[in-house]
């Protein structure tokens, strides 16, 4: 499963280090070449020799111990890896990564590598729950780092709870899945828009909507998983950047338009999941607008319809829009398909339970050219995104 794959295992110091030895064994049995770097604390739990025997490779722990004078070890290891796995990852190692520290071999290599980094934490249940640890994990999610959640059970400290390093078999299975997954969008560039836009009224107020970005981020994550070069153009939301995705942050409809046009020529597929404002204030006040007696009227002007503009400029791109509707869903969706010159419109009935804005689940019907229609029942947005992109990929790129 992992033949010819190079896995760099970074081991930090907790009792779960003994399981990391078994992990090297499992990864090697699956065909991977494994190299190991240990922190000084990890060496307190298990001798480097155990990892050396299991991996049949030198074990690294000292940044200044250059075993081969023709290369610089920490750069060489960083470049060598197809995937870097930090297991077990202690609270301290996670904090160092979140703050970009490079004060030992492990943290320095983690800064130098461009390979995907996966982190498998292991620690006491209260440490895992600590706000600082959560904050650091959040920050690493934002940096596109993938986490293998610890499992629940008896912990070495005597507590029962979440904090056990995931089992070596399971970690090996996840790593293998990463490499063997079907990548039908390899070589394609996918641009996804997500979230709401904000249209400023004055320095302290704006118009927006309830989009959380979940559906758009799920589409971007799925596109990257299917092998696409993925650009996510996101309105203001508080979601981490999915692994392997490049995010461009925007605020207003106008900024989103400019960002999308900047990526459009080289895009193969554009998915417009964002809930873009149709109107913005005709003028933005330079100072905070003071309240007065009686009612106030805000003059609004139309924003550019980005999807429609992309439809007019379309050459080779496949163009997919979403439609959030509360009534006459099919009629309005088909109308948008025509009017905006899209190839597909994915319609949400946002009045339905568990679907639409801010839910973790969604239910949609896809409308395409030639009366194409396919309904998807309520399911998690992540699973739905994979199904939607698989459908579009099969119809458009697998010809
Ligand atoms: O973000 P979540 O909380 O997960 O919610 C997901 C969602 C409900 C926002 C998403 O599934 C969805 O339906 N997105 C489209 C919402 C929408 O704005 O629909 P619309 O019918 O107003 O627009 C139709 C299409 O035109 C959309 O692809 C939209 O991006 C695009 N549009 C709209 C206006 C505009 N000025 N420019 C556009 O490109």
* Mean pLDDT value of segment 132-145: 86
Q: What CA dihedral angle connects 116, 180, 170 and 2, to 10 degrees?
A: -80
* Mean pLDDT value of segment 277-302: 97
User: 215: CA distance to ligand 1 center in Å?
Assistant: 10
Q: What is the pLDDT of residues 303-352, one digit of tens each?
A: 999 999 999 999 999 999 999 999 999 999 999 999 999 999 999 989 88
Tell which wins on pLDDT, 253 or 154: 253
Domain-wise residue ranges, the chain: 6-180, 189-279+299-396
Check if CATH label 3.50.50.60 holds for domain 6-180.
no
Q: What percent of the chain has pLDDT over 90?
A: 82
Q: What is the pLDDT of residues 7-45, one digit of tens each?
A: 999 999 999 999 999 999 999 999 999 999 999 999 999
User: 355: CA distance to ligand 1 center in Å?
Assistant: 14
Round to whole Å and give the CA distance between 59 and 32.
16
Q: What is the pLDDT of residues 44-87, one digit of tens each?
A: 999 999 999 999 999 999 999 888 888 998 999 999 999 999 99
User: 143: CA distance to ligand 1 center in Å?
Assistant: 26
Query: From 3.40.50.10300, 3.30.70.20, 3.40.50.2300, 3.40.190.10, which CATH number describes the 189-279+299-396 domain?
Result: 3.40.50.10300
User: 217: CA distance to ligand 1 center in Å?
Assistant: 13
**Do 189-279+299-396 and 6-180 fall under one CATH topology?**
yes
Closest ligand 1 atom to residue 348 Cα is 13
The pLDDT of residue 40: 97
* Mean pLDDT value of segment 165-193: 91
Go through the chain and tell me how many residues it has. Answer: 399
Taking 80 as the threshold, does the pLDDT of residue 232 lie above it?
Answer: yes
| 294 Cβ contact partners less than 8 Å away, ≥ 6 residues apart | none
Residue 26 is labelled as binding a ligand: no
Tell which wins on pLDDT, 157 or 219: 219
Tell which wins on pLDDT, 332 or 380: 332
Does the active-site annotation cover 10? Answer: no
Q: Whose CA is nearest to atom 35 of ligand 1?
A: 305
Using CB distances shorter than 6 Å, the residues near ligand 1 are 211-216, 253, 272-276, 278, 303, 305-307, 321-324, 336, 348, 350, 356-358
The pLDDT of residue 399: 65
Average pLDDT, the chain: 94
Residue 9 has which token pair?
A: 């295992």
DSSP-assigned letter for residue 147: E
Q: Which of 75, 111, 156, 157 is catalytic?
A: 157
């Amino acid at each position: 499963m992992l033949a010819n794959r190079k896995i760099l295992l970074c081991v930090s110091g907790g009792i779960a280090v003994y399981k990391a030895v078994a992990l090297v064994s499992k990864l090697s049995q699956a065909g991977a070449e494994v190299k190991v770097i240990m922190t000084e604390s990890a060496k307190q739990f298990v001798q480097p020799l155990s990892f050396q025997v299991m991996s049949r490779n030198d074990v690294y722990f000292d940044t200044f111990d250059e075993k081969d004078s023709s290369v610089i070890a920490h750069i060489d290891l960083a470049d060598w890896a197809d995937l870097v796995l930090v297991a077990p990852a202690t609270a301290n190692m996670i904090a160092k990564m979140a703050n970009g520290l490079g004060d030992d071999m492990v943290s320095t290599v983690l800064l130098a590598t461009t390979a995907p980094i996966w982190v498998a934490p292991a620690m006491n249940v209260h440490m895992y729950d600590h706000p600082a640890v959560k904050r650091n994990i959040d920050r690493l999610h934002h940096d596109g780092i993938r986490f293998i959640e610890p499992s629940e059970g008896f912990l070495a400290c005597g507590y029962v709870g979440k904090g056990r390093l995931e089992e070596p078999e399971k970690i090996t299975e996840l790593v293998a899945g990463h490499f063997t997954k079907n990548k039908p969008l390899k070589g394609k560039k996918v641009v996804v828009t997500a979230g709401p836009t904000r249209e400023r009224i004055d320095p302290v107020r704006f118009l927006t909507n309830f989009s959380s970005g979940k559906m758009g981020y799920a589409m971007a994550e799925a596109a990257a998983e299917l092998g696409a070069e993925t650009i996510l153009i996101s309105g203001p939301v508080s979601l981490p950047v999915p692994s392997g995705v490049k995010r461009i942050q925007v605020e207003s409809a106008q900024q989103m338009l400019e960002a999308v046009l900047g990526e459009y020529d080289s895009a193969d597929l554009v998915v417009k999941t964002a809930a873009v404002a149709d109107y913005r204030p005709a003028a933005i006040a330079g100072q905070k607008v003071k309240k007065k007696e009686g009612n106030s009227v805000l003059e609004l002007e139309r924003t550019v319809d980005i999807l429609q503009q992309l439809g007019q400029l379309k050459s080779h791109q496949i163009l997919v829009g979403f439609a959030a509707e509360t009534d006459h869903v099919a009629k309005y969706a088909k109308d948008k398909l025509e009017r905006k010159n899209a190839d597909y419109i994915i319609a949400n009935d946002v009045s339905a339970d568990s679907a639409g804005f801010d839910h973790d689940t969604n239910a949609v019907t896809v409308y395409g050219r030639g009366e194409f229609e396919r309904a998807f029942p309520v399911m998690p947005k992540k699973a739905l995104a994979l199904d939607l992109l698989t459908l579009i990929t099969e119809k458009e790129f697998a010809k």
